Amino acid sequence: MTETQRRDIGTDRRLMLLVGLVAVSAAAAVGLSVHVILTDGGPSFDDLYTAAKLTFLVAVGSTARVGIRIRSTRHGISWTEVAYIIGLAIAPTPWVVLCTGLGVGIARAILRPAPLKITFAIAKDTLVAGAAGLVLMALGPNWSTNDPIRHLIGPIAVAYLVAVVLDEVLTLPVIALATRVRLGSLFRTDWDLRAASVVARFLIIICTLLILRVDTNLLLVVPPMVLSLHLAYSSRVRSRSEQAAWQRLASATDALNAVDLHAVLTTAISNATELFSVDEVEIELSAGESRRIVRGKSTGITFDGLADDAPPASEDFIPVRLEGHDDGPDVGTLRLRFRGPVKLSEREQYTLQTFAAALCTAIRNASAYAELVRVADANAHAATHDALTGLANRRHLVECGTRHLNLDHAEGVTALLLIDLDHFKEVNDTLGHSAGDRVLTQVADRLRAAAQADDLVVRLGGDEFAILFRGLPAPAVATHRAEAILATLHTPIDIDGMRLSIEASGGLAVAPSTGGMTELLRRADVAMYQAKRAAQRIATYVPARDTADITRLALGGDLPRAMADHEFTVNFQPIVDLNTGRVLAAEALTRWQHPTHGLIDPLQFLETVERSGLLPMFADAVLDQSLIAVKSWREAGFDLSVAVNVSPRSLLDARFPSSVLTRLQAHELAPDHLILELTETLTISQLEVVDQVLGQLRGAGIRLALDDFGTGYSSLSVLSRIPVHELKIDKAFVMAMETSTEATAVIRSTVDLGRSLDLVVVAEGVESEPQRRALWDLGCSVGQGHLFARPMANNQLLAALRRGTGGRPGTLAPPLHEEGEVIRLPPGRRASGRGRTDRLPH
């Protein structure tokens, strides 16, 4: 049993109790009246004749009703008080009580209302008549004397007022319980008309009493007069009621002018409840195969959901179609539900049709607006989200990040993690774009699951993703979070039964104080490419390592002038025999002597040169300066070679080998005086392209060196493909060898590898004698670094070579062992048989 049903049962019980109490009180009054009449000797013929006239008057007054409907119950305002107040002027109170009950019973029998209503009407009017009679008896007017009528007005007015008040006190609670309408609302309804009716009936009573002072037989004239007044009053009430109804209808339809469908339905139910005085209003909406029902009262919505889930409702209802537009399907149905059968008046039916038409229009308008909002939201979502993964896109990242960075009260650290999937193109090329899309979707799911509530996960496009961290307590937290997120991508992904390992590189940057999201994105992008080049999983942006700062654009515009004005200069760092200190070669290092920015490091301009289209001209200029230096060394008596770094883009140019050989011939130098250094991490992905170029260079006698060995992805596979003559150990291992056993192991294994492949191994970054000694003991014979010399101009290098060390020209360090000294070689050196300095041309 629902809460509403329990409340209805309780209300019905209180209603029955109140009606029963009134009926018992009325029965007691009737019994007392009969006892008084019998005690006085019984009725006479005159008494019976007067009683008949009085009964007729009461019946007419009770029949002349102004009918109103409240919910499913009809009620009426009658003239019964006029009849029994007049009766009290011509008959004793006991007779009035009996005639009132009989007259009301006759009138109700003619109207045939429900038994409960008949019982209450007879009991109530009988009880009120008795109360008014008792008031008159208490006040004691003498009806048989010739007292002026003005002496009787006071007692009659008091009795009539008691009758009116008692009638309201008994009637309104019963109506409120029967219709479930609040008592205060009933009391306020048409109170002014009721008050006017009270005054009019009192005037009729006074007029009737004046007539009766002339002749009591004129009592029969009173009913026509009452009926005439009743008709006039009824017309007034009906006019007033219709005017109020149209006003309520206009107000109710105006209230439907809303764009929110829920607000339209709620307003319609609340207004329809009051407008049509119904127990419950139900609106059923048809939307395709689903049907939505909204049900409620003036107090609020009691149900809103699918029709199949709606609780049972009253079977007495009046339905109205909510017609569609231009003969389209119906919008739905409006139902007025009652606790019992109800028939609407003609005016109410017309009002209902008008209200239903307004409701139908409001529902269509709200539905259309909702569809517009949905489409707008969908378009807005599509504009700021990726269609494949559902993640935010670059536009949303920039907008959201800009708003956050512009907040004055933004707390904590803001950072951006940029993620790029490695070798994703191979997935598309091998398995197809459908499989690639599924990989991207699963990666997006993992990133979304690993992120926290305040993080914004973004797909920038292709295989690039980003995560915006907000409100972090410290930059170190961003690094920890970024590493944890990238770790979630290590687990293989299943695609059509295949397990694919996903590798990713990440760049992390903390939001700068200026530049906003544009600068933050750029910094994260720089860090990501640094991670790729260094074969790291993640790299954090460091301003000192930024090779793509904002000045790069300006540098690109200065390149043509720099080439024409010979602003690019070459310095040389010697490559030395670790045992003897003798210089074997020198590495050419390019610098840009910019007239505004001063001396610019290659890391800041090489990428700009590569993208400018001036790379061949730049490479020729560096080669020319390097080969001129070699020729000057030879003329000074030092047979040294020069090592020149080669851009990976140069190796993609089929004309590069011929250009190098042309330069060697122009300077009259043998090819073995030139060493071209290749960067492992930048050439591994382009091996297929550069094989032919490298083969031509090696075939011509030019020596090749693999720079930064050990920092790339596949060092051994590179050695099997690239025909190099030298391996250069990255300075990071040399600097760490004194404290890291792993670094020492890398160096030892590299030296052993070079020995087994008959390659020269050169150690970069030698800065101390202990490092020199340790490298020699590990079997490394050649090195370069600040211990011997920093990069210097050619004239400075020639001066250093002529000066030498310890009176030995051509050396830059004292030997590790004196001439004639017996050298005890470490086990590894004894196995090597000889040093590899003879493999360097000199």
- Least Cα distance to 450 among 492, 473, 406, 480 occurs for 480
Looking at residue 613, the DSSP 8-state letter turns out to be T
Q: Please determine, for residue 641, whether its predicted confidence score (pLDDT) is greater than 90.
A: yes
Looking at 50-64, 377-391, 724-738, which range is the least confident one? 50-64
Mean pLDDT calculated for residue range 591-620? 81
Give tens-digit pLDDT for 737-780.
888 888 898 899 999 989 988 999 999 999 999 999 999 999 99
Residues in the chain: 842
* In contact, 83 and 100? CB cutoff 8 Å: yes
Determine the average pLDDT of the residues in 809-830. Answer: 72
Cβ neighbours for 532, distance < 8 A, ≥ 6 positions apart: 420, 422, 505, 681
Mean pLDDT on 20-37: 82
Find the range with the poorest average confidence among 299-308, 341-350, 482-491.
341-350
Q: Return the minimum-mean-pLDDT range out of 342-346, 569-573, 630-634, 743-747.
A: 342-346
Give the contacts of 717 (CB within 8 A, at least 6 positions apart).
684
> Is residue 685 predicted with pLDDT exceeding 50?
no
pLDDT reported for residue 146: 53
| Whether residue 320 has pLDDT greater than 70 | yes
pLDDT of 714 > 60? The answer is no
Q: Is the pLDDT of residue 563 over 70?
A: yes
Question: Would you state the pLDDT for residue 775?
Answer: 94
Instruction: Report pLDDT for 443.
Output: 93
Give 537's pLDDT tier (boundaries 50, 70, 90): confident
Question: Can you tell me the mean pLDDT for 552-573?
Answer: 82
What pLDDT, on a 0 to 100 scale, did the predictor assign at position 7?
A: 62
Q: Coil, helix or strand for 637?
A: coil
Question: Which of the two residues, 225 and 828, has the higher pLDDT score?
Answer: 225
pLDDT at residue number 835:
43
What is the separation of C-alpha 415 from the centre of its chain, rounded to a whole number of angstroms? 22
Structure tokens at 417: 């993690």
pLDDT at 82 exceeding the cut of 60: yes
Q: Which residues pair with 513 in a beta bridge?
A: none
Highest mean pLDDT among 41-45, 534-538, 565-569: 565-569
Q: Which of 528, 404, 515 is nearest to 470 (CA)?
A: 404
Look up residue 531 and give its two tokens: 């991670």
pLDDT at 59: 78
Percent of the chain with pLDDT strictly greater than 90: 23
Whether the predicted pLDDT of 220 surpasses 90: no
Can you give the pLDDT at residue 465? 95
Residue found by looking up tokens 């030698």 in the block = 766
Q: Are strands 538-540 and 66-70 parallel, antiparallel or unpaired?
A: unpaired
Residues 6+ apart with CB under 8 A from 124: 22, 26, 167, 170, 171
Is residue 682 predicted with pLDDT exceeding 50? no
Least confident of 4-18, 102-116, 439-453, 566-580: 4-18
Least confident of 22-26, 82-86, 449-453, 691-695: 82-86
Lowest-confidence segment of 180-184, 433-437, 713-717 by average pLDDT = 713-717
pLDDT of residue 121: 79
Distances (CA, A) of 126 to 22, 105, 222, 797: 10, 10, 21, 134
Residue 785 is predicted with a pLDDT of: 94
Cβ 524 vs Cβ 466: under 8 Å: yes
**Whole-angstrom distance, CA of residue 315 vs CA of residue 311:** 12
Residue 517's closest CA among 430, 402, 419, 596? 402
Query: Tokens 């996960």 sit at which residue?
Result: 457
Instruction: Name the more confident of 292 and 407.
Output: 292
pLDDT in tens, 481-493: 999 999 898 888 8
Q: What percent of the chain has pLDDT over 70?
A: 79
What pLDDT, on the 0 to 100 scale, is given for residue 180? Answer: 64
- Mean pLDDT, the chain, integer: 80
More confident residue, 718 or 741: 741
CA 390 to chain centre: 12
Average pLDDT estimate for 241-265? 76
Question: Does the pLDDT of residue 818 top 70, yes or no?
Answer: yes
Q: Strand 703-709 vs strand 726-729: parallel, antiparallel, or unpaired?
A: parallel
pLDDT of residue 832: 42
